[in-house]
């Protein structure tokens, strides 16, 4: 467990992931019935953008730093507004950036709940401190890979599972496939969102091929890249697999993603794509 998200908090991949997360939560809020957000690899909750870790990479500058200054308007701006309210201060530049569990919590209503899982003891302690006394949030010291097989479905029977592993060891794509299959069996009506990095290896396409060949229905793939694909180390983009996506999500993302690409592009190779891997 060597991965430390503090080096990467607020980068383009966080922005992309959290914008989509926000749109799904906003959709779930259309109905009065309660729902639960389940975050399997939750992290520490809040990240200091002035920390030594954030300063070493400066990744947030080309992520939320650019979005904060972009002034995105029109319909895209309307759709981004709940996300921006959740992550940006009312005035000035961002000095911290919230992780997925904190963003989700800021979007929940009184009847909704959050379950967050984190295995790293230090990060779990920080996360628990963030939510101390919050009766709507349950913070668990547990391996997130156990969640799909042991903690689904939630009693609310509505909601979202975010599976966002650190990809620090081999086999994460296989674990994601297995986790999605378990979630599909145990909670067929739930929304599941899986995040993955875009690198120069072929694992991403093998992952997509495995999902296409699976029995899991209603899978959509969304990817965003901020620069031209290359063999250099590091990410050129990131992707999401969404099981049971809200019916409005495709139209919303087709409106939002061009603005995100324009704002965070590092070169002319920046792009996005949205396609269906399996039918409903």
Q: Active-site positions?
A: 164
| Residue in the structure block whose two tokens are 């409106």 | 255
Angstrom CA distances, 190 to 23, 64, 69, 186, stand at 15, 29, 35, 9
**In sequence order, what are the beta bridge partners of 125?**
none
Distance (Å, whole) CA 95 – CA 50: 7
CA distance 270 to 249: 21
Centroid of chain to Cα 30: 20
Hey, what are 142's tokens? 């547990």
Write the CA distances from 119 to 6, 40, 54, 55, 83, integer angstroms.
Answer: 16, 9, 22, 25, 27
Residue 276 is given by DSSP the state E
DSSP state of 18: H
| Cα–Cα distance for residue pair 43/99, rounded to 1 Å | 7
Give CA–CA dist 14/7, Å, rounded: 12
């Amino acid at each position: 467990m060597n991965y430390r998200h503090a080096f990467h908090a607020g980068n383009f991949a966080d922005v992309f992931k959290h914008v989509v997360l926000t749109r799904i939560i906003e959709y779930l809020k259309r109905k009065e019935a309660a729902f639960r957000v389940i975050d399997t690899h939750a992290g520490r909750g809040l990240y200091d953008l002035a920390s030594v870790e954030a300063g070493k990479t400066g990744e947030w500058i080309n992520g939320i730093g650019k979005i904060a200054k972009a002034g995105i308007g029109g319909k895209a701006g309307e759709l981004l507004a709940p996300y921006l309210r959740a992550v940006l201060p009312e005035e000035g530049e961002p000095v911290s950036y919230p992780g997925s569990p904190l963003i989700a919590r800021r979007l929940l209503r009184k009847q909704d709940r959050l379950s967050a899982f984190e295995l790293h003891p230090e990060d779990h302690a920080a996360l628990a401190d963030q939510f101390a006394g919050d009766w709507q949030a349950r913070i668990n010291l547990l391996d997130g890979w156990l969640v799909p097989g042991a903690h689904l479905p939630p009693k609310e029977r509505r909601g979202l599972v975010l599976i966002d592993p650190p990809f620090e060891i081999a086999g994460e794509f296989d674990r994601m496939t297995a986790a999605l299959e378990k979630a599909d069996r145990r909670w067929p009506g739930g929304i599941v969102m899986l995040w993955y990095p875009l690198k120069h290896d072929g694992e991403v396409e093998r992952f997509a091929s495995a999902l296409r060949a699976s029995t899991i229905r209603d899978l959509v793939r969304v990817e965003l890249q901020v620069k031209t694909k290359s063999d250099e180390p590091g990410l050129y983009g990131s992707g999401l697999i969404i099981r049971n996506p809200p019916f409005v999500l495709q139209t919303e993302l087709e409106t939002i993603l061009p603005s995100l690409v324009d704002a965070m592009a590092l070169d002319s190779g920046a792009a996005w794509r949205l396609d269906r891997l399996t039918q409903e």
